[in-house]
Structure 1
Amino acid sequence: MDLNLKNKNVLITGATKGIGLELAHKFAEEGANIIFCARNYKLIQTNVNEIKKKYKINILGKECDITNYSQIVNFINDIKNTFNGIDVLINNAGSGSNETIMESNDEDWQYYWDLHVMSVVRLCRLIVPLMKNNGGGVILNNASICASQPLWYEPIYNVTKSALVMLSKNLSNELIKF
């Protein structure tokens, strides 16, 4: 299938396993250049080598904790030095929590808020100007069915993914004019 993605630059967060890794393969299969980040350096290198060999595309994989703003800035600077902008941003990084509201602590709430919501805000603030300079782009935020049908044992995940859905709607309203 040709989706007109040849030589498009696709940034995927959390692409060393699961949905993110599968997305990296599918976009690479379409000829897109792949840029991704995750926290596991060994998996990053393994996946970079595998994807580059299999699809013969340009690829950049970097270790980056997207809850850390300075690491995000450094990652984006590496992208600017390697690629001519970003065409597609897929905010995929995330993980579940497993505690009730009464069992959880403030640190857990803050961590998942930073992971699922603030990382997306920060990445969009840094990448949207690059997209505008290139005439536009696409932002996809991976939420969850838990945003509307919560699981009893993952309240933090449910709440932060709900916030991500609302963030996506607000971002869409703000950026539609571009």
Structure 2
Amino acid sequence: MDLGLNGKRAVVTGGSRGIGLGIARAFAREGADVLITARTQSAVARAAEEIASEFGVAARGIASDVATAEGCAAIVAAAAEMGGADIFVSNAGTGSNETVMDAPDEKWLEFWNLHVMAAVRLSRGLAPQMEARGGGAMLMNASICAVQPLWYEPIYNTTKAALMMFSKCLSTEMIGRNIRVNTVNPGLVRTPDWENTARELRGEKWEDYLQEVADEHAPIRRFASVEELADFCVFLCSARASYLVGSAVHVDGGMLRTV
């Protein structure tokens, strides 16, 4: 299936590893040029070089902290230097671990800036570029926890739910500019972070831990691969999903327990 992405330009935050890197690679495989961002210059530069070498597209890595207004402005400027963005995937984020009673205000604000304000600032900054190029697509990577929270990460749950609502509001505003906005809510995805956590908790039996988590939460009884999720995200941003507007799509192996 031709997704119609050859020659498009995609901006992916949190793109040096894990889900973000997988999404950037999937775009490049379809012929799209990519701008990936992360906080560590060496990691994001290496990832961009590998993408360009493997897929023969233009790939640029920029070190930037999307939790800051300055970091977002740098990304918008870099996209403009490449000729403008057609696609934006707001992927940068991380999990939390706290209780509401113990978490300080500073932690709430840190996650708000990372998960919500980064999406706000980058959407606002990249939209004019997309409109000038005839339209585009934005995808917010939220989480199954936005609708089915886990007890030990209330800040993550709350900010991801806010991201999903922001996406819905933005979709109504952007469709008049021929820019589609949607949300993806992944369940269990086998990322380096999950694997590192499992090793810390179980040592050599870390694979057993991941299986226990999958058995507990996902009726499919396994984690998704990064590639499985990435391929779906790229499809959502393609012309093949042109009637999808303002949707929140769960990619969770049956983890969501409600309709």
Q: Same fold (TM over 0.5)?
A: yes
Q: 1:1-178 maps to which residues of 2 (within 5 A)?
A: 1-81=1-81, 83-178=82-177
The count of residues paired between Structure 1 and Structure 2 equals 177
Which deviations, in whole Å up to 9, do the C-alpha atoms of 1:65-112 show, x marking residues without a partner? 00111122122212212x221111000000011111111000000000
Q: Give the match's secondary structure for 1:176.
A: helix
CA distance in 2, matches of 1:17, 1:152: 27
CA distance in 2, matches of 1:131, 1:5: 14
Which consecutive residues of structure 2, in runs of 5 or more, have no partner in the other structure? 178-259
Which deviations, in whole Å up to 9, do the C-alpha atoms of 1:133-163 show, x marking residues without a partner? 1111100000000001000000000000000
Q: Give the match's secondary structure for 1:123.
A: helix
CA distance in 2, matches of 1:27, 1:119: 21
Letter paired with 2:154: P
Letter paired with 1:92: N
CA distance in 2, matches of 1:15, 1:25: 9
CA distance in 2, matches of 1:80, 1:176: 21
- Offset of 1:176 from its aligned partner? 1.8
Q: CA RMSD in A?
A: 0.9
Q: Give the match's secondary structure for 1:177.
A: helix
CA distance in 2, matches of 1:48, 1:63: 11
CA distance in 1, matches of 2:45, 2:124: 27
The runs of at least 4 aligned residues of structure 1 exceeding 3 Å deviation read none
Contact 2:36 2:48 in 1 (8 A): no
Letter paired with 2:132: N
Which consecutive residues of structure 1, in runs of 5 or more, have no partner in the other structure? none
Letter paired with 1:24: A
Q: Give the match's secondary structure for 1:84.
A: coil
Give me the TM-score of the superposition, normalised by structure 1: 0.96
- Offset of 1:42 from its aligned partner? 1.8
CA distance in 2, matches of 1:41, 1:98: 27
Tell me which structure has the larger Cα radius of gyration. 2
Q: Give the match's secondary structure for 2:2.
A: coil
Give me the TM-score of the superposition, normalised by structure 2: 0.67
Which deviations, in whole Å up to 9, do the C-alpha atoms of 1:33-63 show, x marking residues without a partner? 0101001212112211211110111011100
